[in-house]
A and B are shown apart, each in its own frame.
Chain A
Amino acid sequence: EDQVTQSPEALRLQEGESSSLNCSYTVSGLRGLFWYRQDPGKGPEFLFTLYSAGEEKEKERLKATLTKKESFLHITAPKPEDSATYLCAVQGDLTAGNTPLVFGKGTRLSVIA
């Protein structure tokens, strides 16, 4: 069974204080690891897809990396507008019986000015 574990559950940072969010996963036949951002009362918004170990992607203050067992979302010099819940999800091989996109419980990030 595919599993995704995110840590920490909640993180409070001062503006400009860089940190990382962790996503550990187990899946048979990884087809993609996805990061989403979710603001209160809204649907998740896509950030990144990573397909293979060693891959990295960046967008503004965010950088996502992938190994064979985990992914990190690095946040550099965060601003209050980065406050949100960050969700990690994995897609396994559907032909091997995996269900589409299994999500972790998320990390709730608060950035204080």
Chain B
Amino acid sequence: NAGVTQTPKFRILKIGQSMTLQCTQDMNHNYMYWYRQDPGMGLKLIYYSVGAGITDKGEVPNGYNVSRSTTEDFPLRLELAAPSQTSVYFCASSYPKEKLFFGSGTQLSVL
């Protein structure tokens, strides 16, 4: 009964480094999402996908890339990490128009 699994849980990057945040779900959900959460700022949508092969930008997509080659996986790629990308990242999945199931988050620091 895994639900939405995110890895890693914590990561420290140096400015300019790249990394991929992994997200996988086992509920056969069509929709998947990436949010970032900064202290006191709520959740901001980075990218989302309505199915394999389809992705779209959210509110704060700059500096990130995504791909959706399978229903289960939705990795988030950070290219040239910047201090402004220090945040907690949440992956989520859902059926259309239904509640989101969230992963436990990845805490990322860029120094």
Which residues of chain A are near B35, meaning CB under 8 Å? 103
B33 at the A interface (CB under 8 A):
yes
- Alpha-carbon distance A100/B92, docked complex (angstroms): 11
- Alpha-carbon distance A101/B44, docked complex (angstroms): 9
Which residues of chain A are near B99, meaning CB under 8 Å? 34, 46, 49
Chain B: residues with Cβ within 8 Å of the partner, total of 24
Chain A: residues with Cβ within 8 Å of the partner, total of 22
Interface of chain B residues 23 through 57 with chain A (CB within 8 A): 31, 33, 35, 40-45, 48
Whether B101 contacts A101 by the Cβ 8 Å rule is no
Task: Return the contact of A43 from the options B41, B44, B98, B105 (Cβ within 8 A).
Answer: B105
CB distance from A62 to the nearest CB of B (A): 15
- Alpha-carbon distance A104/B44, docked complex (angstroms): 9
Whether A44 contacts B43 by the Cβ 8 Å rule is yes
Which residues of chain B are near A9, meaning CB under 8 Å? 40
Interface of chain B residues 92 through 111 with chain A (CB within 8 A): 92, 97-105
Whether B41 contacts A105 by the Cβ 8 Å rule is yes
Q: Name the residue of chain A whose CB is nearest to the CB of B97.
A: A31
Question: Which of A41, A99, A101, A105 counts the most chain B CB atoms within 10 A?
Answer: A101
A106 at the B interface (CB under 8 A):
yes
